[in-house]
Amino acid sequence: MQLQPWARRRARVSVVVPVYDVEAYLPACLDSVLAQEAKGLDLEVVVVDDGSPDGSGAIADSYAERDPRVRVVHTTNRGLGAARNEGLRHVTGDLVAFADSDDVVPPGAYAALLRQLRRTGSDFVTGSVARWEGDSLAQLPWMRRLHATRSALVIDHQPEILGDVFAWNKLFRRDFYEGAGLSWPEGVRYEDQPTTTDAYLRARRFGVIPEVVYHWRIRHDGSSITQQRSSLADLRDRWATKQMALASVEAYGSAKVTRVFRDRVLAGDLHRYFAEIPGCSDEWWELLRAGVLQMYGARSLTHSGLTPAYRLVGWLVEQGRREDAAAVVAYVRSYGGPLPRVPTPTGPRIDVPVIDLRTVAPAALELRPHEA
């Protein structure tokens, strides 16, 4: 294996940090990134002030004035994807990483990613993530599972890793990133998934490490994208980026990868949208159902990796049974735990007394062996 120049010398890691309306969080983010200096690692931070209406741009400028590793690019507001793409036009490093400006990079994160990149010759490396909510910091269980083993893979070996859609827990070789034609979709939310999907599919190999390399701050001020699921704009963007990613997976041409991606990855966050069904508008409901039918009309969500209750909700959405879907969501919320189990001659099923289960397909109620 031919070593790249950065594999033999001190590697420059360019970190792109898009900034918009985050003056309360930006110093902690930049401090954490700038603390990543380590043996064999040279750091460059490109901050993109995406037309921020608050003092974020001035904060970034103050960092650049006192630290030569920081450069600031000021642009008009065009959104996260465009800001990342703009930042990439200004980097000089052999390796590229991303950090969102309200989050924090824990000590040693880039060094850990770089070690695995050098060890395996991968095109990029991904690490695990901890969810940071208030005073609580906890590794996401599904990320722990996906990153359980230090390894170098191709996507056919572990297609479920496509569920690790995040931009900011990865370190990319810049020559791979540019050679693969990667970029972030602009003018749409949830831009991470199409691009990271393409990265997995186009990599000769990618590395995985078990270390937590990113602290993802969960904000409750209503400004977070993930807190706006009940809006039509959010749902339109979510379906659009899911379709982009699915098109890439289908073009890859592996039946196994496509099946795992559709059932276990694409369906993974649908429960969060199903939770919005009670009280939703007619237009939002129709858009939700249209997207479900488009992606799962030929293969029901009863095959998906959703929990039993939300597989049922998914089936009800497919059938257009809005009132029943809303009733089940409300019941699940009030019940507060795994739904009751009922034995049947063919195996146990969930019990949901708020709808007439005689009108429900058995596949929408059945439990899998590990769920019984």
Rounded distance, CA 325 to CA 73, Å?
47
CA 354 to centroid of chain Cα atoms: 34
Confidence of residue 5 (pLDDT cuts 50, 70, 90): low
Nearest-5° Cα angle at 211, 207 to 212: 115
Percent of the chain, pLDDT > 70?
95
Residue pLDDT, tens place only, 328-355? 999 999 998 889 999 998 889 999 999 9
Residue pLDDT, tens place only, 130-171? 999 988 899 989 999 999 999 999 999 999 999 999 999 999
Decide if pLDDT at 11 tops 60. yes
Q: Exposure pattern of 319-333 as b/e (b: 16+ CB <10 Å)? A: bebbebbbbbbeebe
Percent of the chain, pLDDT > 90?
87
Confidence of residue 8 (pLDDT cuts 50, 70, 90): low
Question: Which one-letter amino acid corresponds to residue 213?
Answer: V
Tell me the average pLDDT of the chain: 93
Q: Sort 2 into a burial class: Cβ within 10 Å, 0-12 / 13-18 / 19+.
A: exposed
Classify 5-225 by CATH class.
alpha beta
pLDDT value of residue 40: 77
CB atoms within 10 A of CB 41: 17
Residue pLDDT, tens place only, 265-277? 999 999 999 999 9
Torsion angle defined by CA atoms of residues 332, 335, 338 and 344, in that order, rounded to the nearest 10 degrees: -90
Rounded distance, CA 344 to CA 83, Å?
55
- The segment(s) of the chain belonging to CATH 3.90.550.10 are 5-225
pLDDT value of residue 219: 81
Lowest mean pLDDT among 291-295, 298-302, 322-326, 368-372: 368-372
pLDDT value of residue 222: 52
**What pTM was computed for the model?**
0.93
Place of tokens 């004035």: 65
